[in-house]
Chain A
């Protein structure tokens, strides 16, 4: 069964550094999402992406965050200048166009900011 894959599984970065989290969505999916889960808290929506543009973003997704689909397969989340509070598990998800289709999630990237 096709899967969403995320790399790396664990990223350790110094505060203030830029980090790029990578995702390969399922190939015939057209909607892409990033969520994050701070330790002990609920999974929170960050951003959705469709047709090469952001379709919605949360208040968490400020100017330090950006997303990109640089080629036909990858979907990236960039944090420009990381803060301690960015430490979390970041999940990528994708789904087909039809609205009642579920989102399929990757295994996540654990981001640790030192």
Chain B
């Protein structure tokens, strides 16, 4: 079974400050990892993904995340927060074991990011 833990249900930063949203996962097989963003009254938009290869992945809007297998982490960062980054962020894991090709997503509880002027 797989699971995702997002530390901090609410993170508040100042505009221009570093954004760090934490995600730890549990998976019995090598995972695929995703970060999605949800703006108010909208669906889930993919920010970035890790499947294989380079462990530092870059996404849209200046976000990036690093897969650290030894720490079972996939933290999301952005060097300088912008007001438009205020949203809820979800970390998700899917597995690709040979028993099935379903690749369903298991989500964390989400982290609400607020950006103060």
B-contacting residues of A (Cβ < 8 Å)?
Answer: 4, 6, 31, 33, 35, 41-45, 48, 50, 55-56, 91, 93, 95, 99-100, 102-108
Are B34 and A105 in contact, with the CB atoms below 8 A?
no
Are B96 and A99 in contact, with the CB atoms below 8 A?
yes
Task: Kindly identify, within residues 35 to 63 of chain B, every residue whose CB is under 8 Å from any CB belonging to chain A.
Answer: 36, 41-46, 49, 51-52
Main secondary structure of the interface of A (DSSP, over half): strand
Q: How many residues of B contact A (CB 8 A)?
A: 26
- Tell me how far the C-beta of B105 lies from the nearest C-beta in chain A, rounded to whole angstroms: 6
Are B44 and A100 in contact, with the CB atoms below 8 A?
no
Verify if B22 is at the interface (C-beta below 8 Å from A). no
Are A102 and B43 in contact, with the CB atoms below 8 A?
no
- Tell me how far the C-beta of B35 lies from the nearest C-beta in chain A, rounded to whole angstroms: 10
Closest to A45 in B: B104
A56 to B99 CA separation, bound complex (whole angstroms): 12
- The verdict on A43 contacting B43 (CB below 8 Å), with A55-B100, A56-B102, A99-B101 known, is no
A13 to B100 CA separation, bound complex (whole angstroms): 36
